Amino acid sequence: MAVEVMTLEVAEASAKGLVAIGAGLAVGMAGLATAIAQYGIGTAAVGATAENKDIFGLVLVLTVIPETIVIFGLVVALLLLF
């Protein structure tokens, strides 16, 4: 039976890999959460705009607000990577 020995290089490389996975998860999951939030708001925004075109600008802003969630995820990812 071969005994695996973890050298310093291997440990460093896997730590980097785990950081990269963490960063990916942070952006990916925050992105999904944003999508879910924007789904509801966007649908309602389209409905409201269909009835009253003047409020397009306002509902656009409302639709974009959940975008902050994914920005938080991005910031965490960047902090992890650099």
Partner 1 sequence: MTSISAAGSATGPAPYIYVTTRMRVRKSKLLPREEYLRMLNMSLPEITRIIEETQYKAEVDELSPSFSGIDLMEVALSWNLAKEYQKILEITPGRLKMFLQTYLRSWDIQNVLAILRGKSQGMRTGKIKEILIPAGSLDRITLDRLLAEDSPERVVEALKGERLFPVIEREFPAAQESGSFARMENELYKAYYADLIETARAGVKGGRAFLEYIRLEIDICNLQAAFRLRQGPLPEDARDMFIEGGEVKPDELVRLSAAEQPDELIETLQQRVGIDALGGLVDQIRGDAPIHEIENALTRLRLDKMTRISKRNVISIVTILDYLERKRFEVMNLRALARGKESNLPAERIQSYLVI
The set of residues, in sequence order, having a beta carbon less than 8 Å from that of 77 and lying 6+ positions away, is: 22, 23, 24, 26, 27
56 binds partner 1 (CB under 8 A): no
Look at the alpha carbons of 28, 32, 33, 38 in this order and tell me if their dihedral is positive or negative: positive
- Tell me how many residues contact partner 1 (CB under 8 A): 10
Least CB distance to partner 1 at residue 38 (A)? 11
Q: Which range touches partner 1 (CB under 8 A), out of 16-24, 49-57, 62-70, 71-79?
A: 49-57
For partner 1, the binding residues (CB under 8 A) are 39-40, 43-44, 46-48, 50-52
